[in-house]
Amino acid sequence: MTLAAIILAAGASHRFGPEDKLQARLADHTVLDTAIAATFGLGQRLLITRAPTPVPEGVQVVINPDADAGMGGSLALGMASLAPCDGVFVVLGDMPLIPQALYQQLADHLTGHDIVVPTHDGRDGHPVLFAANCFDDLRALSGDKGARGLITSGRYRVTRCEVATDAIVQDIDTKDDLTALTNRSKTAP
């Protein structure tokens, strides 16, 4: 099975302040580099941004000229740039503590399902894995409507996979969020 990742990183980060939250430091790396590193090993990795961004080797940058229109447009743009594959993870660039092993754990649940949603203590999180038969609907997204509508539509076989980490629901919106995650990453085993 060939899997890919679309890493969404084109948001404006208004709540974080004037700095780019994705370039903020988390331990020895940026928030974005940490999120990208967990996707290592996937067949394709596409980073959707609003401006050119330095990335590790093996990551393709796709510039969204209409990034302010919302996440749905960024996801559709990523899907339009995706080479054929069996499934795609939708990854949020501001969720840097997702462990690399989680991607395999979710992939193990794709057989017999169209969408795999990680959950922790009853809360849905990211990354969400979509099988290829969802791709046409993902390409049709626009504006600020993300892929949640596909999950709740009833048209797809959705499975929820309970995971041990709450990192699937921990994003960075404010500087306080960054401080909390920095402290957490220092105490993690």
Sorted by where each begins, the domain ranges of the chain are 3-187
Confidence of residue 174 (pLDDT cuts 50, 70, 90): confident
Q: Give residue-wise pLDDT tens across range 110-156.
A: 999 999 999 999 999 999 999 999 999 999 999 887 899 999 999 99
Give the mean pLDDT of the chain.
91
Question: β-strand 128-131 against 60-63: which pairing, if any?
Answer: unpaired
Q: Is the predicted pLDDT of residue 189 greater than 60, yes or no?
A: no
Tell which wins on pLDDT, 103 or 11.
103
Contact 51, 22 (CB under 8 A): no
Best-predicted range by mean pLDDT (8-17, 67-76, 123-132, 172-181):
123-132
pLDDT tens by residue, 48-62: 999 898 898 999 999
Quote the CA–CA distance of 40 and 56 in Å, as a whole number.
Answer: 10
- CB atoms closer than 10 angstroms to residue 131: 21
Give percent of the chain above pLDDT 90: 70
Q: Give the type of residue at 120.
A: H
- With H, G, I as helix, E, B as strand and everything else as coil, classify residue 120: strand
Residue 60 DSSP code: E
Residue whose structure tokens are 């959707």: 48
Sequence-separated contacts (24+) of 177-184 with Cβ below 8 Å: 178/16, 178/21, 178/24, 178/26, 178/31, 181/26, 181/96, 181/97, 182/26, 182/27, 184/97
Query: Is the pTM of the predicted complex or chain greater than 0.85?
Result: yes
Parallel, antiparallel or unpaired: strands 3-9 and 25-26: unpaired
pLDDT at 188 over 70: no
pLDDT at 185 over 70: no
Assign domain 3-187 to its CATH architecture. Alpha-Beta Complex (3.90)
Share of the chain above pLDDT 70, in %: 94
